[in-house]
Structure 1
Amino acid sequence: MIVGSVREGRFGPVVADWFRHQADLHGEFAVELIDLADTGLPLELPAVPPALQPDLLRPAGMTDLTARLDAADAVVVVTPDYNRSFPASLKAAIDWHYTEWQAKPIGFVGYSGSSGGLLAIEQLRQVFNELHAHTVRDYVSFPRYYELFEADGTLRDPQGAEAAAKVMLDQLLWWGSVLRNARRDLPYVTNR
Structure 2
Amino acid sequence: MRTVTVDKYRCNKHDTLVVDATQYVPDRHAFTRYHCHRDSGVTHPDAATNGAAVALFCALEPQYSPPRTVVTAVRKDGGATNPTTNETVHAATWALDQVDADDVMLDTFAGTRRASADEDGVAVEITDGPGRPLEQDSRLWDPFEIHAAAHRGAATHVFQTTVPVRSPMDTTDVKDDTEAVEPTPETTAHASR
Q: Which has more radius of gyration?
A: 2
Q: TM-score higher than 0.5 here?
A: no
Q: Looking at secondary structure, tell me which structure has more strand per residue.
A: 2
Q: Looking at secondary structure, tell me which structure has more helix per residue.
A: 1
TM-score, length of structure 1 as denominator length: 0.31
